[in-house]
Copies of this chain bind each other. A is one copy, B any other.
């Protein structure tokens, strides 16, 4: 079994299509590698894979990931995929738009919080996922499923916000719970946590992280106001539902006492200086025992 980082960047990717500031500038000039939007696959060629979040880059990610390519000698014939299931953790475009790439009458299971499944149901464009083939299942937090043989998976609530395109309809406060989830994966004796969006680290979350083997954690912004500082937007990390890495209540300080957990940032914004391995920011997180994930990174489980 393995975990493959299909995409390590936050919404927009690295570079962002309409931005030549921050780390995007370096990425356009190929001084640092480009990165696609956050998504993870866990599984094996034998058992199949579960994909956590369907980013808008999913077709590109499948093309650059040999493990997810169809099998030339599959008993079902030339149309097949090792992707058995997709789990979406919230309804942001970053996490669900990629489902539109998974059309073409291919069977797989789709799981997510009920609030997210409802939004998908309300948008007729997702009917390209033919219900005769795609099994859409609301998944309550705390209910374990086995999307792939050998993996037990459950969702848990994480503080967040509603998707951007529904903020005006639902109110920004609606996101305090229900819209955003983390994913806990049990693979044999190993426990993996994938948390791409987190607005607050509470006692329950700290408790859950204790003793995990691998933690992929929301690394959207290094500092709360970095987008504003860089002239690349007017929102803070917190306004977007993301805890800054270096905040007093952020992951660097709050999760400093984990023991034996391999800790990696992912869902990293194109303004975040940790993309640059020469930066003091990169040094800071490295000294604190964290890694920066990247497209194509494989973690054996």
Residue positions of A touching B, CB distance < 8 A: 11-13, 15-22, 24-25, 28, 34, 56-60, 62-63, 69-72, 74, 77-81, 93, 96-97, 100-106, 119, 122-128, 164-166, 168-169, 230-233
Contacts and interface: CB of A to CB of B under 8 A. Distances in A.
B104 A16 contact: yes
Given A17-B59, A19-B79, A72-B20, A125 B97 contact: yes
As for how many copies of this chain the complex holds, the number is: 2
- Pick from A34, A125, A169 the residue with the most CB of B within 10 Å: A125
A20 B70 contact: yes
B81 A17 contact: yes
B62 A59 contact: no
A106 B232 CA distance: 12
A22 to B, nearest CB: 7
Nearest to A230: B78
B169 A78 contact: no
Given A62-B17, A79-B232, A80-B18, A124 B122 contact: yes
B125 A165 contact: yes
Given A25-B78, A59-B13, A63-B34, A127 B165 contact: yes
Contacts of A122: 124
A124 B79 contact: no
A125 B125 contact: yes
B123 A124 contact: yes
A-B pairs, 4 with minimum CB distance? A21-B78, A127-B165, A20-B70, A18-B81
B93 A125 contact: yes
Contact of A79 (B18, B106, B126): B18
B22 A78 contact: yes
Nearest to A60: B60
A59 B24 CA distance: 13
A13 B22 CA distance: 32
A77 B164 contact: no
B71 A20 contact: yes
Contacts of A70: 17-20, 28
A9 B8 CA distance: 27
Contacts of A233: 79, 105
A127 B79 contact: no
B69 A20 contact: yes
A78 B20 contact: yes
Given A19-B79, A125-B125, 16 more contacts: A17-B58, A19-B70, A20-B69, A20-B70, A20-B78, A20-B80, A21-B78, A25-B72, A25-B78, A56-B56, A56-B59, A57-B59, A103-B164, A127-B165, A127-B166, A128-B165
